[in-house]
Amino acid sequence: MNAQSNPHRYLVSLLVAAGWHSLTRRSTAVELGPDLTLTYTVAWGFGMSQRFTVGQRWRPWSSVTSGWIEILQKPYNSGAAVYASEDGKTCYIGTSYNLIVIDASQKSF
């Protein structure tokens, strides 16, 4: 092998990793308020996991996340229901076996 093939190998590896990432994840976002967004992400591969992210629109660096939560049983039924309090300061997210409470005023779980 010559030294010229190594950059191509790295490029191919990077493209394969990016393709795998885009093919094995789906997400959707819901606006919780005028400046607050909840993103629900599902990832699958050897198992299935879900993640919730709360952040300000156009500021992804200031978001907080629940971390990856494994969906334990097959069939992997994923999904979430979001309920907000009347004052809009508290949001409740229900999954098949979790209840997550978001304090929108503090932008925290």
8-33 pLDDT tens trace: 788 888 888 888 777 888 888 888 77
Residues 68-92: tens digit of each pLDDT: 888 776 666 667 788 888 887 788 8
Reported as a single tens digit per residue, the pLDDT across 34-44 is: 778 888 888 88
- Return d(Cα 78, Cα 2) in angstroms, integer: 48
From the list 35, 85, 40, the residue with the least C-alpha distance to 55 is 35
Cβ pair 27, 41 in contact under 8 A: yes
**CB-CB contact of 52 with 65 (8 Å):** yes
> Does 60 score more than 80 pLDDT?
no
On the CB side of 67, CA atoms within 13 Å amount to 2
Q: Give the whole-angstrom CA distance, residue 46 versus residue 15.
A: 20
- What 8-state DSSP symbol labels residue 109? -
pTM of the shown model: 0.66
Token pair for 104: 């929108």
Q: Is the pLDDT of residue 5 over 80?
A: no
